[in-house]
């Protein structure tokens, strides 16, 4: 719908119960999930472009000095994910009988 990026924005709070069940609280809604092992691990990479190391004493061609080298570095390997299958449930706060 909206083409606005969600990167770096606050979505909600992620908590775990004492037995390890993940709970996501988004506004006035709560979602219950479960931790699932991935069939194949997921790798996140970071692309870096650096200038090639060139010996300037033996430089024969000017174009050679403009060459760059692309590297991909492994940032993390993900083995598990959190799945939220059910619809969000509203959080309802019940007042005590003595409170008004």
- List beta partners, residue 31: 24
| Greater pLDDT, 93 or 61 | 93
Structure tokens at 64: 């050679």
Closest CA to 24 of 93, 91, 78: 91
State pTM to two decimals: 0.60
Closest CA to 38 of 6, 82, 73: 82
**Other beta carbons within 10 Å of 26:** 15
- Asked if residues 69 and 52 have their Cβ atoms less than 8 Å apart, the reply is yes
Which pLDDT tens digit goes with each residue over 10-46? 889 999 999 999 999 999 999 999 999 999 999 999 9
């Amino acid at each position: 719908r909206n083409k606005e990026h969600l990167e770096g924005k606050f979505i909600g709070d992620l908590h775990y119960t004492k037995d390890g069940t993940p709970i996501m609280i988004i506004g006035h809604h709560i979602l219950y999930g479960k931790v699932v092992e991935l069939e194949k691990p997921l790798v996140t990479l970071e692309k870096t472009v650096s200038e090639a190391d060139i010996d300037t004493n033996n430089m024969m061609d000017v174009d050679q000095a403009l060459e760059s080298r692309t590297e991909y570095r492994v940032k993390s390997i993900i083995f598990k994910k959190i799945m939220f299958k059910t619809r969000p449930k509203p959080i309802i706060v019940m007042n005590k009988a003595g409170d008004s």
